[in-house]
Amino acid sequence: MPKLSHYDRSGRARMVDISAKAATTREAQATAFVAMTPAVLNALSANPKGDPFETARLAGIMAAKKTAELIPLCHPLQLSHIDVELMQCENGIAISTSAKTTAETGVEMEALVAASVAALTIYDMCKALERGMTVSDVYVLRKSGGRSGLYSRPKKHKK
Protein backbone atom coordinates (compact mmCIF):
# COMPACT_ATOMS: atom_id res chain seq x y z
CA MET A 1 0.00 0.00 0.00
CA PRO A 2 1.42 3.43 -0.89
CA LYS A 3 2.23 5.78 1.96
CA LEU A 4 0.60 9.17 2.42
CA SER A 5 2.97 11.78 1.05
CA HIS A 6 1.87 14.64 3.31
CA TYR A 7 3.40 13.05 6.45
CA ASP A 8 7.05 12.82 7.45
CA ARG A 9 8.61 9.79 9.19
CA SER A 10 7.46 11.11 12.56
CA GLY A 11 3.86 11.38 11.40
CA ARG A 12 3.88 15.19 11.25
CA ALA A 13 2.08 16.95 8.41
CA ARG A 14 4.43 18.40 5.77
CA MET A 15 4.34 20.01 2.38
CA VAL A 16 5.65 17.61 -0.24
CA ASP A 17 8.93 18.65 -1.88
CA ILE A 18 8.18 18.83 -5.61
CA SER A 19 11.45 20.51 -6.64
CA ALA A 20 12.76 17.39 -8.42
CA LYS A 21 9.59 16.91 -10.47
CA ALA A 22 9.29 18.11 -14.04
CA ALA A 23 6.73 20.72 -14.93
CA THR A 24 4.13 19.13 -17.20
CA THR A 25 0.67 20.06 -18.39
CA ARG A 26 -1.84 19.03 -15.75
CA GLU A 27 -5.62 19.08 -16.01
CA ALA A 28 -8.43 18.10 -13.68
CA GLN A 29 -12.22 18.07 -13.76
CA ALA A 30 -14.46 17.96 -10.71
CA THR A 31 -18.16 18.06 -9.92
CA ALA A 32 -20.63 19.06 -7.21
CA PHE A 33 -24.40 19.05 -6.90
CA VAL A 34 -26.86 21.26 -5.01
CA ALA A 35 -30.22 19.57 -4.44
CA MET A 36 -33.21 21.87 -3.98
CA THR A 37 -36.97 21.89 -4.29
CA PRO A 38 -38.77 22.65 -7.56
CA ALA A 39 -40.09 25.88 -6.02
CA VAL A 40 -36.55 27.19 -5.51
CA LEU A 41 -35.49 26.07 -8.98
CA ASN A 42 -38.43 27.97 -10.47
CA ALA A 43 -37.50 31.10 -8.51
CA LEU A 44 -33.83 31.20 -9.61
CA SER A 45 -34.37 33.72 -12.39
CA ALA A 46 -36.11 36.14 -10.01
CA ASN A 47 -33.49 35.97 -7.23
CA PRO A 48 -33.29 39.43 -5.58
CA LYS A 49 -29.58 38.88 -4.83
CA GLY A 50 -28.82 38.61 -8.56
CA ASP A 51 -28.06 35.80 -10.98
CA PRO A 52 -27.07 32.78 -8.85
CA PHE A 53 -25.42 31.03 -11.81
CA GLU A 54 -23.12 33.91 -12.73
CA THR A 55 -22.29 34.66 -9.11
CA ALA A 56 -21.45 30.99 -8.43
CA ARG A 57 -19.39 30.73 -11.62
CA LEU A 58 -17.27 33.72 -10.64
CA ALA A 59 -16.98 32.52 -7.03
CA GLY A 60 -15.68 29.14 -8.24
CA ILE A 61 -13.09 30.76 -10.50
CA MET A 62 -11.92 33.07 -7.71
CA ALA A 63 -11.77 30.21 -5.20
CA ALA A 64 -9.67 28.00 -7.48
CA LYS A 65 -7.04 30.76 -7.55
CA LYS A 66 -6.99 30.80 -3.72
CA THR A 67 -6.73 27.04 -3.15
CA ALA A 68 -3.24 27.14 -1.58
CA GLU A 69 -4.51 29.74 0.91
CA LEU A 70 -7.43 27.50 1.91
CA ILE A 71 -5.84 24.03 1.96
CA PRO A 72 -2.74 24.16 4.18
CA LEU A 73 -0.41 21.79 2.31
CA CYS A 74 -1.34 22.66 -1.29
CA HIS A 75 1.29 24.26 -3.45
CA PRO A 76 0.43 27.65 -4.96
CA LEU A 77 -0.14 27.11 -8.68
CA GLN A 78 -0.22 29.45 -11.62
CA LEU A 79 -3.46 28.39 -13.28
CA SER A 80 -3.55 28.69 -17.04
CA HIS A 81 -7.30 28.02 -17.15
CA ILE A 82 -10.27 27.47 -14.86
CA ASP A 83 -13.82 26.91 -16.01
CA VAL A 84 -17.00 26.54 -13.99
CA GLU A 85 -20.25 25.41 -15.60
CA LEU A 86 -23.63 25.18 -13.89
CA MET A 87 -26.65 23.35 -15.25
CA GLN A 88 -30.16 23.38 -13.89
CA CYS A 89 -31.58 19.88 -13.49
CA GLU A 90 -35.03 18.79 -12.37
CA ASN A 91 -33.90 18.40 -8.74
CA GLY A 92 -31.05 20.90 -8.39
CA ILE A 93 -27.94 22.45 -9.89
CA ALA A 94 -25.13 20.33 -11.35
CA ILE A 95 -21.71 21.97 -11.27
CA SER A 96 -18.71 20.91 -13.31
CA THR A 97 -15.28 22.50 -13.19
CA SER A 98 -12.02 22.15 -15.04
CA ALA A 99 -8.59 23.46 -14.15
CA LYS A 100 -5.35 23.49 -16.11
CA THR A 101 -1.72 24.39 -15.41
CA THR A 102 1.82 23.56 -16.38
CA ALA A 103 3.49 22.74 -13.08
CA GLU A 104 5.24 20.12 -10.96
CA THR A 105 2.02 19.10 -9.21
CA GLY A 106 -1.60 18.52 -10.16
CA VAL A 107 -4.68 20.74 -10.13
CA GLU A 108 -7.24 18.36 -8.62
CA MET A 109 -7.59 20.47 -5.48
CA GLU A 110 -8.20 23.62 -7.53
CA ALA A 111 -10.97 21.91 -9.50
CA LEU A 112 -12.51 20.56 -6.27
CA VAL A 113 -12.34 23.92 -4.50
CA ALA A 114 -13.97 25.61 -7.50
CA ALA A 115 -16.83 23.07 -7.49
CA SER A 116 -17.28 23.30 -3.71
CA VAL A 117 -17.32 27.10 -3.53
CA ALA A 118 -19.64 27.37 -6.54
CA ALA A 119 -22.04 24.97 -4.77
CA LEU A 120 -21.82 26.91 -1.51
CA THR A 121 -22.49 30.13 -3.41
CA ILE A 122 -25.65 28.64 -4.90
CA TYR A 123 -26.69 27.73 -1.36
CA ASP A 124 -25.97 31.26 -0.14
CA MET A 125 -27.88 32.84 -3.02
CA CYS A 126 -30.95 30.67 -2.39
CA LYS A 127 -30.99 30.06 1.36
CA ALA A 128 -33.75 32.63 1.94
CA LEU A 129 -36.08 30.34 0.00
CA GLU A 130 -34.85 26.99 1.32
CA ARG A 131 -32.45 26.17 4.13
CA GLY A 132 -32.75 22.43 3.49
CA MET A 133 -30.73 22.39 0.27
CA THR A 134 -28.03 19.72 0.15
CA VAL A 135 -24.53 20.05 -1.30
CA SER A 136 -23.26 16.63 -2.39
CA ASP A 137 -21.28 14.62 -4.91
CA VAL A 138 -18.09 16.67 -4.72
CA TYR A 139 -15.43 14.57 -6.44
CA VAL A 140 -12.75 14.45 -9.12
CA LEU A 141 -14.12 13.22 -12.44
CA ARG A 142 -10.84 13.12 -14.32
CA LYS A 143 -7.23 14.19 -14.02
CA SER A 144 -4.26 13.97 -16.35
CA GLY A 145 -0.58 14.75 -16.35
CA GLY A 146 2.30 14.00 -14.04
CA ARG A 147 3.83 10.73 -12.95
CA SER A 148 0.51 9.06 -12.10
CA GLY A 149 -0.93 9.81 -15.54
CA LEU A 150 -4.61 9.64 -16.39
CA TYR A 151 -7.36 9.00 -13.87
CA SER A 152 -11.03 8.80 -14.84
CA ARG A 153 -13.65 8.10 -12.21
CA PRO A 154 -15.61 4.95 -13.01
CA LYS A 155 -19.17 5.68 -14.05
CA LYS A 156 -21.82 4.86 -11.49
CA HIS A 157 -24.34 2.26 -12.52
CA LYS A 158 -27.96 2.97 -11.69
CA LYS A 159 -29.68 0.38 -9.55
Catalytic residue (one of 17, 51, 83, 124): 124
- Whole-angstrom Cα distance, residue 61 to residue 58? 5
**Is position 124 annotated as part of the catalytic site?**
yes
- The pairing of beta strand 134-144 with beta strand 24-35: antiparallel
Q: Other CB atoms closer than 10 Å to residue 137's CB: what's the count?
A: 16
* Residue of 106, 90, 118 whose CA lies nearest to 145: 106
Query: What are the residue numbers of the active site?
Result: 124
